[in-house]
A and B are shown apart, each in its own frame.
Chain A
Amino acid sequence: MEDPCFSSHLTSQFYSSLVQRIQPNLVSDLKEPSSYCWNSMSPPLLGIEVEVQSKLAPSLHPLKPGFAERNYFELFEYSSVDSSTVTSFKEDKKGHLNLKATELRLGLPGSQSPERDPQLCLLSPRKLDVRSLFPVFPLKDLSALPCPKAGVSGNKRGFSDTTKDVEKTYDGQGKFPVNGGINVMLSSRPSLNSGVKTYSVNGQSGANDGLMENMGHKALEKARATGEMESYQMDASNSNYCAPATKAQVVGWPPIRSYRKNTLATASKNNEEAEGKCGATPPFVKVSMDGAPYLRKVDLSTYSIYLDLSSALGKMFGCFTLGQCGSNESFGKESMNENNLKDLLHGSEYVLTYEDKDGDWMLVGDVPWNSSGPGQVGQQGLAIPN
């Protein structure tokens, strides 16, 4: 892949010098909108770009190479610890994460609002800040933060606040109420399952938190030592990224129209029902007889009454009985009725039982045939009554 015509270095220089030009105006604007001073330039933004471009051509930035990128942030004096932190804007072939820009800063750089200091302080013990510096799951945090509540410092909420709220809005169906407004990835089982890696930023997995905190502390020390933030390699962590995790549902992702989603949902449901109807997979049921050397399978859908079933079973297993109660010969349909059947059942040594879905052994014949569809009967067995 060839490099584009302008070098990455030049781009970042251009960009940084562009922002340098704008920055004084923007900063003052943030403070006092009424004293907006762009009126002197018209059209304001275009003017700035044009100005800068002509300046760029004659000479590069007079400061030492590599300064330009760092300078971008040093220009804006932060009163907090991270004022000394700098990120490189340069294009790194490996796609290093540009941490500075992903730092928990809301608003234009250079603005020095005093109330932001406590949150931006890297020494803050709150997990949220540490994690935000190493956004393996970049910046979901920031988007998850709604407007600040009174009493909480500035506009960042504590981690516990965030999770509480998020859990409140999650309605347990993998869907967020439309008015929730928080687009957060949540695991469908909001439990702190430490073994499971989710890409939920609120770090419902304890393992994730631990990992990031460790790395966070390491980098913190380094940052304080050298005054520079190391860019963080995303590659290592990304290999873990795609590991199948617990189901996490994000609003509107994957991007499928609700019409299609609903249709697919009912399609799969209908398919399961219809497959049963069309006999795609006939409901075979295992039947065992005590003492018989092998089991048989019967297709329940071929019978319509218990009588048929028991006569068929009797035929199947007839060779194993010793002809008691004339069970073999008298299994003709004409002479059979419900009462006879019951007599036979009670008289013979064998009864038909089945194990239902609760795991209980039930006597065949109590429930009307129609209601006991294939899904309900687990297994049938002939058992000798004591």
Chain B
Amino acid sequence: MLGLTLESIFLMKVMQSFPEEALEHVLSFVDSHRDRNSVSLVCKAWYEADRWCRRQLFIGNCYAVSPAIVTRRFRDIRSLTIKGKPHFADYNLVPEGWGAHALPWIMAMAEAYPGLEELRMKRMVVSDEALELIGKCFRNFRVLVLCCCDGLSTDGLASIAANCRNLRVLDLLESVVIDLRGNWISYFPDSYTSLESLNISCLESEIPLSALERLLDRCPNLKYLTVNRSVPLEKLATLMDKAPQLTDLGTGTFMSEPRLELLTRLEGAFSRCKGLKNLSGLWDVAPSYLPVLYPVCSGLTCLNLSYASIRCPDLIKLLSHCRNLQRLWVLDYIEDRGLEVLASLCKDLQELRVFPSEPYDQDPNIALTEQGLVSVAVGCPKLQSVLYFCHRMSNKALVTIARSRPTLTRFRLCIIQPRCPDYITQEPFDEGFGAIVEHCKDLKRLSLSGLITDRVFQYIGTYGKKIEMLSLAFAGNTDLGLHYVLSGCKNLKKLEIRDCPFGDRALLVNATKLETMRSLWMSSCQVSYRACQLLGQRMPRLNVEVIHENGSPESGSEECTVEHLYVYRTVAGPRADAPGFVWTMRCSPE
């Protein structure tokens, strides 16, 4: 707001005379949604310009805003990204039927933005009806990405295939799709040729291969193809021959009886895919077929072996060919020695994820320990992102990792036994994780595990100034821990907590902090129903959802703890589609 000095009046006149078209043109180069949001806050003129010309919209929490508000504000959106359920829904902590329905959004978009081209949804419930609507209403629809979604069936896919003439991308990343045994791929009309990316690895049943082959025949621009496990190795060679221009390939099952003829065919197919950069799938690998991959290994930047049951010796042989890897997802069969080899060979490695092959086995026979991670952290200078499951860890290892690799931006460590201490000193991991947050100044995402006391939260609150997402489980001693985090981490956006002894006090004291965050999830903690009511009453711009499946929380004493608490900021008020086990705390009427 400018004061009414002569100078400021002059400035205002200058700004008003700045042609809108020029402003809009300049703004069209501002892509990042955060920058766009900042732009819209500069002044009214810029807000209006952004309203008018924003084409890509990112909604991090579908209940933070309503479809009506969006359609009222933006004139013409072409690309929409929405995220629904909280992250812990991936681990079955959010009861079925909680919400995040896509249909209301798609109905609103259909009316307001018929020119919508791209829709990316994560953890939403997408019904077949919604998919049919997409097919019918958006003439120029091009990109459909459903990441970890559910609620759809192959009938919905069939309607997309049949109706979206300009579809380029169909990506069902780890979604749950009900298989109704229709031949949905054959619904792509014969005139349809524009497919560029197809990811159907999450489908469980057999894909009709002849229809897929015909599709590949007529789509010369197909660059990303990820099939599901049912596609046998014999067919893979056929498919690859039809699409040698692939850059991303997800194979089906990689097992067959050793046959020279098939080996030769596959070798030929892979050597013809010169541009292959990303390889995944590789279910049920027969080691004798691994050598067919060697021709493409040197060009690979991303390799996902996290479903591949390859043991260490074969893994090492394979990895020794992949010197340019930037991202590797692998099972713990890689063992420490495999990771040492990785560290010595793949100097471009940026992301490493090691998943457990036997997550429920208390005494597994895998030689993967903290040493593997230490070797990679020490050896790979570009390492940024780590997800590591292991059975033991030490503070010494964590400090070494922190000191060697201050470039880490994502560090997620899961020590499989809850509250497991340092195996050498039997101490909590406070010093280790403290070192991580102290040295890795750009750390944006952190997940803790093992034995943790309040002290680590003090470190996090002090040093973790850039942390945006923090995941805690079985950690901490008192409310002070939560208080440190909420009061110290300035950039905290998402906090998810399970089974920690955090209660009402820290939550209420830091209530205003919650408005600066996207969401807070607490399950199996010590938050009382009374505190939730209090929070809901005093903070009208927060939705405080108590998820309580054992009857109404009001039926018990008010000091009864709630099962799950989900607090998120919103401008849309309490949602209308909350199921019976979700109680949204009401604001007190003023």
Contact = CB atoms under 8 A, between A and B. Distances in A.
A32 B275 CA distance: 70
Interface string B436-472: 0010000000010001011100110110000000010
9 contacts: A4-B462, A19-B505, A38-B538, A39-B590, A106-B557, A138-B419, A147-B553, A255-B473, A267-B307
B534 interface: yes
Contacts of A1: 431, 434-435, 438, 459
Interface of B: 88, 90-93, 95-96, 148, 174, 176, 202, 229, 253, 255, 257-258, 283-284, 286, 306-307, 309, 355-357, 359-363, 389, 392, 414, 416-421, 423, 426-428, 430-431, 434-435, 438, 447, 451, 453-455, 458-459, 461-462, 471, 473, 477-480, 483, 498-499, 501, 503-505, 508-509, 511-512, 523-526, 528, 530-531, 533-534, 537-538, 548-551, 553, 555-561, 563, 588, 590
B200 to A, nearest CB: 13
A8 B14 CA distance: 54
B188 to A, nearest CB: 25
B414 A241 contact: no
Nearest to A91: B455
B284 A270 contact: yes
Contacts of B361: 247
Interface string A297-341: 000000000000000000000000000000000000000000000
A43 B557 contact: no
A258 B92 contact: yes
B560 to A, nearest CB: 5
B419 A199 contact: yes
Q: Which of A43, A244, A253 has the most CB of B within 10 A?
A: A253
A89 B389 contact: no
A145 B478 CA distance: 18
A181 B91 contact: no
Contact of A91 (B148, B258, B355, B454): B454
A183 B307 contact: no
Given A142-B526, A249-B360, A255-B91, A239 B421 contact: yes
Contact of A101 (B255, B501, B528, B553): B501
Contact of B561 (A5, A145, A246, A252): A145
A252 B306 contact: no
Given A252-B92, A267-B283, A238 B509 contact: no
B147 to A, nearest CB: 11
B7 to A, nearest CB: 34
Contacts of B551: 146-147
Given A98-B454, A143-B526, A239 B92 contact: no
Given A95-B455, A155-B556, A258-B90, 5 more contacts: A33-B537, A45-B509, A98-B477, A101-B477, A108-B530
A4 B459 contact: yes
Contacts of A137: 419
Nearest to A94: B427
A251 interface: yes
A18 B194 CA distance: 63
Contacts of B389: 254, 256
A168 interface: no
B421 A274 contact: no
A245 B362 CA distance: 7
A279 B101 CA distance: 49
A183 B418 contact: no
Contacts of B560: 106, 145-148, 155
Nearest to B551: A147
Contacts of A12: 480
Given A30-B530, A143-B499, A147-B560, A238 B426 contact: yes
Contacts of B309: 267-268, 271
Nearest to A242: B420
Nearest to B534: A29
A109 B559 CA distance: 11
B118 to A, nearest CB: 24
B483 to A, nearest CB: 6
Contacts of B524: 140, 143, 183
Contacts of B525: 143
A261 B416 CA distance: 15
A40 to B, nearest CB: 13
Contacts of A251: 91-93
B127 to A, nearest CB: 20
B238 to A, nearest CB: 22
Contact of A5 (B91, B462, B588): B462
Given A89-B480, A147-B560, A277 B257 contact: yes
Given A253-B473, A267-B284, A43 B355 contact: no
A340 to B, nearest CB: 34
A153 B366 CA distance: 49
Contact of B477 (A102, A107, A242): A102
Interface string A102-144: 1000111101010110000000000000000001011110110
A183 B92 CA distance: 11
Contact of A253 (B307, B418, B477): B418
B501 A138 contact: yes
B214 to A, nearest CB: 28
A147 B477 contact: no
A185 B560 CA distance: 20
A31 to B, nearest CB: 11
Contacts of A89: 478, 480
A238 B473 CA distance: 17
Q: Which of A43, A113, A115, A254 has the most CB of B within 10 A?
A: A254
A114 B421 CA distance: 40
A374 interface: no
A295 interface: no
A274 B255 contact: yes
A97 interface: yes
B179 to A, nearest CB: 14
A147 B419 contact: no
A259 interface: yes
A39 B590 CA distance: 10
A174 interface: yes
Given A146-B550, A274-B284, A278-B257, A174 B360 contact: yes
B504 A255 contact: no
Contacts of B90: 255, 257-258
A29 B148 CA distance: 42
Given A147-B555, A148-B556, A26 B417 contact: no
A250 B360 CA distance: 10
A11 interface: yes
Contacts of B549: 179-181
A178 B97 CA distance: 11
A356 B549 CA distance: 50
Given A148-B556, A252-B92, A263-B307, A26 B257 contact: no
